[in-house]
Amino acid sequence: MTAPTVETHLSEADLTAALRSDAERGLTAEPKSLPPKWFYDARGSELFERITELPEYYPTRTERALLERVVGEIARAAHAEVLVELGAGSAAKTRLLLTALTSEGPLKTYVPQDVSSGALRDAADRVAAEFPTLAVHGVVSDFTDTLQNLPRGGRRMIAFLGGTIGNLIPAERAEFLAGIHDVLEPGERLLLGAGLVIAPDILVPAYDDAAGVTAEFNRNVLHVLNSRLDADFAPDKFDHVARWDPDHEWIEMRLAATEDMTVHVRALDLTVEFARGEQMLTEISAKFRVEGLRAELGAAGFETERVWTDKDDRFALVLAGRL
């Protein structure tokens, strides 16, 4: 086995600077909001892993079962030499892809990418140990603004799994998909895992589990603000809210203040008032229709080659070629 290498485009100072700017904008906006990438420090990444094992959280097990069924077809169609995975997290499901892409295709290199450096390093180590013939090269970066840093060369497939595409609003998605198109060569591929629109009585509990793990994950953004920006949020004084927005077809996660509060963000010299019941948006998780996915991919310059869905039409895997 060759030890994995990790390239970092986000230093601690870069992360703090980015959080400063997001917090300054989001905490002074009306209504208040914060981007979801700030859930994912080491604790947030661990909490997300626990979410993936919850009985209510159907997306991970549905996507895994779908991958188990179709990885061989993906491997033969993509014939990839390099697999780049955006927002790889623990890369748990990726093992299925890596096995098929090495046994049924010419895969030589795996490039996991994530904003959460500890989670990325752990994933890179584990994959390198399990797949000794693969070169593993991790990239710590923000996929919304550093796609140009991804390695070039070899026939690549970019995987973006877990439904993370749904955390972007439509304008951000268009920009993100166009950015992926720009870094790929004609004939290279994108493998997208996306949650589909289903009944709210199954969707909402997936983001509001009985054990309260998602609530703790949601509140983790406040812990991140406390530790990185010397803020004094009392996370326990915020309730977790998950609601389905039928007009936008997305889940919204919010944090609701349980009492009037004055919060100091000392690193920004900012004082923020919360009224009792006031809600701050922390994540959207958009759900898709297959035709909508095809249209968004088409607008970004991709041709949808294959779409696989599970038997209950809860989740889709889309293989798209860059035109």
Ligand X SMILES: C[S@@+](CC[C@H](N)C(=O)[O-])C[C@H]1O[C@@H](n2cnc3c(N)ncnc32)[C@H](O)[C@@H]1O
Where do contacts with ligand X occur on this chain (CB under 6 A)? 37, 40, 45, 48, 52, 60, 87-89, 93, 114-116, 119, 142-144, 161-162, 164
Phi first, then psi, for residue 277 (nearest 5°) are 90, -10
Residue linked to tokens 């993936």: 52
Q: What minimum distance in Å lies between the beta carbon of 160 and ligand X?
A: 8
Q: Strands 315-322, 302-309: parallel, antiparallel or unpaired by DSSP? A: antiparallel
* Residues 277-296 as b or e (16 or more Cβ within 10 Å = b): ebbbbbbbbbbbebebbbeb
Residue linked to tokens 């086995």: 1
Q: What minimum distance in Å lies between the beta carbon of 163 and ligand X?
A: 7
Q: Which helix (H) or strand (E) holds 309?
A: strand 302-309
Q: What minimum distance in Å lies between the beta carbon of 231 and ligand X?
A: 21
**Closest of 68, 126, 133 to residue 97, by C-alpha:** 68
Is 37 or 173 the residue whose CB approaches ligand X more closely? Answer: 37
The Cα–Cα gap between 152 and 136 comes to 14
Secondary structure class of 85 (helix, strand, coil)? strand
Is 36 or 263 the residue whose CB approaches ligand X more closely? Answer: 36
Q: What minimum distance in Å lies between the beta carbon of 268 and ligand X?
A: 21
Is 160 or 274 the residue whose CB approaches ligand X more closely? Answer: 160
Is 140 or 272 the residue whose CB approaches ligand X more closely? Answer: 140
CB closest to ligand X, residue no: 162
**Closest of 228, 304, 238, 320 to residue 21, by C-alpha:** 228
Q: What minimum distance in Å lies between the beta carbon of 144 and ligand X?
A: 5
Burial of 307 (0-12, 13-18, 19+ CB in 10 A): middle
Is 93 or 240 the residue whose CB approaches ligand X more closely? Answer: 93
Contact between 70 and 96 under an 8 Å Cβ cutoff? The reply is no
The Cα–Cα gap between 212 and 267 comes to 30
Q: What minimum distance in Å lies between the beta carbon of 57 and ligand X?
A: 10
Is 97 or 320 the residue whose CB approaches ligand X more closely? Answer: 97
Secondary structure class of 162 (helix, strand, coil)? coil
Is 93 or 137 the residue whose CB approaches ligand X more closely? Answer: 93
The DSSP bridge partners found for residue 38 are none
Q: What minimum distance in Å lies between the beta carbon of 51 and ligand X?
A: 8
